[in-house]
Amino acid sequence: GENVEQHPSTLSVQEGDSAVIKCTYSDSASNYFPWYKQELGKGPQLIIDIRSNVGEKKDQRIAVTLNKTAKHFSLHITETQPEDSAVYFCAAHDYKLSFGAGTTVTVRA
């Protein structure tokens, strides 16, 4: 089955700086890669996703890149704000969705 590894497990950034979270996956058949944000007391919410036929996707301050050859994908958050503080999960879908262990992001004011 699919194995998704996520790094780092914690990330502290100064407000206004960028944050980068990296994930690797094992199954070359995976073709869909979503990112979820989980705030305290809430369930994960989809923030951006990318399909295997696309290398990069951007939505305002959030971007995701995918390298299928290397089997890794990354989340980039620019101009971080305090409300970006949360736990972020990457996931990969082959025949089911497999999640990384999460990254706790803290944005310091």
By CB under 8 A, name the one of 14, 42, 69, 109 that touches another protein: 42
Quote the least distance from Cβ 5 to another protein, whole Å.
9
What value does the CA radius of gyration of the chain take, rounded to a whole number of Å? 13
Three-state secondary-structure class, residue 82: helix
Contact between 103 and 38 (Cβ < 8 Å): no
**Alpha-carbon span 36 to 98, nearest angstrom:** 12
What are 36's two structure tokens? Answer: 């979820």
Which positions from 69 to 108 touch another protein by CB under 8 A, shown as an x/- string?
--------------------x---x-xxxxxxxx------
Quote the least distance from Cβ 7 to another protein, whole Å.
13
Three-state secondary-structure class, residue 99: strand
Q: Residues in contact with another protein, total (CB under 8 A)?
A: 23
- For binding to another protein (CB under 8 A), which residues are involved? 4, 9, 31-32, 34, 36, 41-46, 49, 89, 93, 95-102
